[in-house]
Amino acid sequence: MTHWDPSTADGLIYSGGWRAGGGGVLAVTSPGDGGRVGTVGIADDQDVDQAGVLAVAAQKQWARASYRTRAGVLTRAAEVLREIRDDVEHLLIRESGSLPTKAAHEVSKAIDELVEAASLVTMSQGDVLPVDDPTTLGIARRIPVGVVGVIAPWNAPLMLAIRSVAPAIALGNAVIVKPDVKTAFSGGAVMAEIFSRAGLPDGVLHILPGGPETGEAVVRSPHTNVISFTGSSAAGRRVGEVAGGLLKRVILELGGNNAFIVMADADLDLAVACGVGGSFRHQGQICMATGRHLVHESIADEYVERLSAAAAAMRLGDPLAEGTTLGPLITTVQAERVQSIVDAAVADGARVAHGGTHDGVFFTPTVLDGVGATNAAFQSEIFGPVAPVTRFSTAEEALELTNASDYGLSAAIHTRDIARGLGFASRLRAGMVALNGQTIYDAAHIPMGGIGASGNGGRHGGHWNLDEFTYWQWVTVPTISD
């Protein structure tokens, strides 16, 4: 097991090597213990422009590299991440407030993304199509898009960045990453380290931390051809507006207010376990978190009682402290936002079955009962450890409640009748549906993404990455005839 010292990136950006950024520096503190994590270098417009120039030049050479070379870099990057995973996991815990189990899971998922991306290079890169003249060969082939701009969030910073970075690089593109400043080490510097050790040529990858201004500069850059954005729906609309006006392809993976439907015939033990994980994993700060528990009225009392008991058994605290099962929210601002939603929900008739308060960044796991369809807790993406419960009487009512949201990312259905569950799922407005599982479930090889306020239908994962990070070119070649 080798090591990595993140202080090598302290106060710097990565573009043609580690160097100072034009936007100054920003201190980062741990939400768990309040201690200093490091100092992030901030990129300004000039840094973005310079990175774009370098990326365009490097991409031309990288696109000519053999598929074996590109696969080799991705495979070695996965090996490097395995070697330094202890250091990366510790960094995720301190920088993002992840519990150790969540940090370990995120690193494993990032490794999966690298391995899966390496396999893209040997997938079919085109088709042979008929041409009117039988002496002419017609080929539709995939071409790298050029330079991909990746704007990544703070909640799962490594995995949510690398799922765009890895396939884009594998397919012959250069990448400019704008990580969130709150997690610029685990969501940016880590990738610079693993790809550098893996032998990726200079200029193919750039890490430019910054705020919204830096992100908009990446979107507006004349050097970026595709923008992959993961974040809030409000910010995603802005990215889509700017990128669309510039006629750029944009991949939007946005928020979710995901429904967890518990039918009357559900296995209640399983449903409660999945409901707890869905709402409280990583303090609810996951786009696929369970935002609405829709429970049949015949079992709702028992479900709320069990969910509340599970919440009461959780131990809130610093993720590095022994016995902690629920960590902090990312900032006090986020905690105050969650509190405002809970308070509005109660004012509108909801009942606090457990929790409902916070102390700084630490928010007690909260269960709300009696949440109506117009309630703030039903309508909002809470992004905190809150489980709102809404009761229904018929399957049609459950379907109507599920589809009442503008979001369409993930859903889960608990029923012993699998055929009915499959039929119900086909009528849901959701990009992903789990039967008798959690709303939080994805993998590197599946089509990850949503619709509506959850995204524009773009998909991360597996061969779907080919559609996002290449474009089609039609080529005709006259052949020699007798």
Catalytic residues: 253, 287
Phi then psi dihedrals of residue 139, to 5 deg: -125, 130
By C-alpha distance, which of 425, 456, 423 is closest to 439?
425
By C-alpha distance, which of 324, 323, 380, 319 is closest to 348?
380
By C-alpha distance, which of 167, 232, 188 is closest to 383?
232
Phi then psi dihedrals of residue 309, to 5 deg: -65, -40
Q: Which residue has the tokens 């946005």?
A: 254
Phi then psi dihedrals of residue 18, to 5 deg: -80, 130
- Give the sign of the dihedral formed by CA 173, CA 45, CA 185, CA 234: negative
Q: How many CB atoms lie within 10 A of CB 26?
A: 17
CA distances from 219 to 61, 172, 250, 469 (A): 23, 20, 9, 16
By C-alpha distance, which of 187, 165, 183, 160 is closest to 175?
165
